[in-house]
Amino acid sequence: MYSMSWNEFESLSFELAKKIKSSKKEVDLIICVSRGGLVLGKILSEILEKPLAVISAKYINDKYTIDENISSLYPIKGDILLVDDIMEETTNEIVKVIKRNKQVKTVTLATLFYRPKGKKLIPDFSINEIQRTMWITFPYQKDCLKENCF
């Protein structure tokens, strides 16, 4: 297990933002995945000057559950940037939910880390690929907050 500090998280978030900005990728709305993508989504929303929405997804009783409702004050349309701290193949299920909205043109993926499974998930923007067995504790997670990982 690797415990990440706030400074490292912030540095990696800025690095990801630079990659997105330098790509000139058009983005109309950022959707972050609750809960892991909330802090990263907020940072990217501020840097990229784009509105932020939230979609909830979580394992409940060994079943991956995605809320069909996206929380947003802005229309869910155009070019979407989907953000999470770590992405796995379950991200594809979130993309399917977002694409049910016929006004969505594209969904681009941005993450700090991703766990690939074949070629089923390769984010458009990422910092690092990690092994399936690697576990990262982010500074905003309960275990890290108890241990004062900052």
- d(Cα 1, Cα 17) in Å, to the nearest integer? 26
Return the amino acid letter for 38.
Answer: L
Give the pLDDT score at 126: 97
pLDDT single digits (tens) 39-93: 999 999 999 999 999 999 988 888 999 999 999 999 999 999 999 999 998 999 9
Q: What is the CATH number of the domain that holds 10?
A: 3.40.50.2020
- d(Cα 111, Cα 4) in Å, to the nearest integer? 15
Share of the chain above pLDDT 70, in %: 93
Instruction: Dig out the tokens for 16 from the structure.
Output: 């990801």
Give the pLDDT score at 119: 66
pLDDT single digits (tens) 118-148: 667 889 999 999 987 888 999 998 666 566 6
Range of the domain at 119: 2-147
Instruction: Dig out the tokens for 145 from the structure.
Output: 């907050």
Q: Which of 15, 17, 12, 37 is nearest to 141 (CA)?
A: 37
- d(Cα 5, Cα 24) in Å, to the nearest integer? 30
What is the count of structural domains for the chain? 1
